[in-house]
Structure 1
Amino acid sequence: MKSFIVLVVVCCAIGLSESLSKEQRKEMFYKVANECATKEGGSSADVDEIAAHKPASTKGGKCVRACIFEAVGIMKNNQVDVESTANVAAMAFDGDAAKVSAARDLATACASVTDADRCEAAFKIMACGRDSAKGRGISFADL
């Protein structure tokens, strides 16, 4: 079972453009992630954790995730934006109704998760997503 961040990574990388190759989407993800790392005081190790689907181990890593969430519209005002997440998922999964529904369900399950600190909010949202996915038997390898 992969973590909720897989959804964010996929949405960020794929959702930016439907017509890009897998390699181009990966490059775009790293561009956004590295820009966020620079902006948030994160490191290349923080970006590597995201790519490896690992939870953040530093404050910088949490903030990089918050930046990515905000950049793709998944998080607004330190909370999951359910509709925006569903829209990004629709692009990321080329309209696959089952996958979009799963993304919406996970976003809805975590919609009340927040924190005054946006970095902690992103961390808590990801933990919620992981727990919610696991509780629903969702494997991101199948998404």
Structure 2
Amino acid sequence: MHYHMILAVISKMEKFYLLILLIGALATTCLSDTTIEESFMTIVNDCKAKENANDDDATVVINHEVPNSLTQKCLFACFYETLGVIKENQMSMVSLKTLVLSKFSQDGNAITTINELIDECGVITGDDRCELAHNILECLNNGASKRGINKKQL
């Protein structure tokens, strides 16, 4: 009974967002590495088409490198938007934490470190989606480097 009352209060968008987070967490936990990699590549390829990017641009996303062209920045923006990491011109710390922390579910020290990193970068906002994606990625990569984390784990 209480469950239905709570759901009635949550807007349709919030229900959709929570469902996506739940599916993402379950998928990350339940799917094989191959399936996760295939899903990752599907998003990259979809964004590559949307942003008129080429294979070299996609390689930057795949390797989590800081983009150096507008196309690459916008490719990251599409990727982050698809994953829910960028919402309403700011980073969604909940989405990013759900996405990244699921990879470290058994390592308490890593979880603490990742939470600190995401909190540090969570203040980044911007009106330009492509620059915002670039700034988020740059912050995450720099923070990961300072903490001895492989940027590909983010």
Query: Which string of whole-angstrom CA distances, capped at 9 and with x for unpartnered residues, describes residues 43-80 of structure 1?
Result: 22111112233221321111111111111122212222
Please tell me the root mean square deviation across aligned C-alpha atoms, in Å.
2.3
Q: Does 1:53 align with 2:70?
A: no
TM-superposed deviation, 1:120: 0.4
**Larger RCO, structure (CA 8 Å, separation 6 or more):** 1
Residue pair 1:82, 1:104 contacting (<8 A) in 2 also: no
| Structure 2: distance between partners of 1:90 and 1:55 | 21
Residue pair 2:85, 2:91 contacting (<8 A) in 1 also: yes
Gaps of 5+ in 1: 1-13
Identity %: 26
Aligned ranges 1:5-84 → 2 under 5 Å: 16-84=27-95
Residue in structure 2 matched with residue 123 of structure 1 by the alignment = 134
| Structure 1: distance between partners of 2:140 and 2:36 | 23
Residue in structure 1 matched with residue 100 of structure 2 by the alignment = 89
Residue in structure 1 matched with residue 17 of structure 2 by the alignment = none
How many residues in Structure 1 have an aligned counterpart in Structure 2? 129
**Structure having the higher Rg:** 2
TM-superposed deviation, 1:89: 2.4
| Structure 2: distance between partners of 1:86 and 1:37 | 25
| Structure 2: distance between partners of 1:81 and 1:108 | 10
Residue pair 1:63, 1:119 contacting (<8 A) in 2 also: yes
